[in-house]
Amino acid sequence: MSTVDGPKRDTVQVPGAPVRILLIQAPYYDEIVGGMRQGVERVVAEAGGLLEIVDVAGAFELPAALRMALDADDEEPRWDGFVLLGCVVRGETDHYDHICREACSGVMNISTDSGAAIGFGLLTVHTLQQAIERSRQDQHNKGAEAAQAALMQVALRRRWGLG
């Protein structure tokens, strides 16, 4: 367990209408992702936002689901931002490396190509204990951090007249 305090951030204030966030989660490690989801729910609620949640099979499917959501959002935007959650724990094969690299690369490519407001909360850890520490309901919760990142991006998009 870490003795270093995580970041302490104020509630993100987003001007304009209530923020609509789509949470795309890969609940393969349900307890871990559930803890991060609670962090997302808290942060979005504190900001007065609305949250919709969808599940995908695993981390590898996160970028494709994000792309589908953005494509579905073309005509009439349903969401102002997106949060992606998942967890990959290193095993005995190189499967971990491939999944982590491709999921991260896929989300980064979509992010830079689309300019969408995205908070990325994919835990890539060596042990389940590391994941537990990052999904607790304290300042270390990576779901809460991903939600804060998405809200900050939504605020930036609105500031620049993009959403």
Binding site listing: 28, 59-61, 87-89, 92-93, 120, 134
Question: CA 142 to CA 125: how far, in whole Å?
Answer: 12
98 in catalytic set: no
Catalytic one among 95, 98, 126, 140?
A: 95
Q: Which residues are annotated as a binding site for (2S)-2-hydroxy-3-oxobutyl phosphate?
A: 92-93, 134
Q: Which residues are annotated as a binding site for 5-amino-6-(D-ribitylamino)uracil?
A: 28, 59-61, 87-89, 120
- Indicate which residues carry an active-site annotation: 95
